[in-house]
Amino acid sequence: MGGDQKIRSLWSCYFNGVPDALFFVIDALDQHRLQELKAEFLHILPDRNLRKVPLLILLNLKQPIPNENELVEKITKLLELSKLKENTWKVMTCNALIADSLLPSLEWITQHWKNTTSRS
């Protein structure tokens, strides 16, 4: 589902019935929208249906950058992920135009989804 301003009000409709996981995809090179990104993320996170749901934050890089780890740390701090106590989370980089770059994130979310469902 897209992140356009008009669509954001519909996001919570997709949380009904407790989702298996939440993928939050970020245009990692759009530095001008980081505060808007933070506000939207912190707005949806308290939804009771997202409690204990694995969160995967994907930083979509349309081109390689030399400091991917620094970007991951920056977004982790920006979204205050260390404060999350009930969710397993991970921030990863990818290039959505290259399918193979998505494999590590899909493997991570599959493993953590399995761990979450086995505890239910």
Label each residue of 6-63 as H, E or C. Answer: HHHCCHHHHHCCCCCCEEEEEECCCHHHHHHHHHHHHHHCCCHHHCCCCEEEEEECCC
Domains of the chain, start order: 5-119 (3.40.50.300)
Tell me if the pTM is above 0.75: yes
Structure tokens at 6: 């008009």
Give the pLDDT of residue 43: 84
Structure tokens at 22: 């939440």
CB proximity list for 72: less than 8 A, separation 6 or greater: 59, 91, 92, 93
**How far is Cα 24 from Cα 41, in angstroms, rounded to an integer?**
8
pLDDT value at position 10? 47
Task: Tell me what pLDDT residue 16 has.
Answer: 57
Q: Give the C-alpha separation, 40 to 5, whole Å.
A: 10
pLDDT tens for the chain, 120 residues long, are: 444 555 445 445 445 555 677 888 888 888 888 888 898 888 888 877 778 888 999 999 888 788 889 999 999 999 999 999 888 899 999 887 888 888 888 899 888 876 665 545
Residues 25/33, Cβ–Cβ less than 8 Å = no
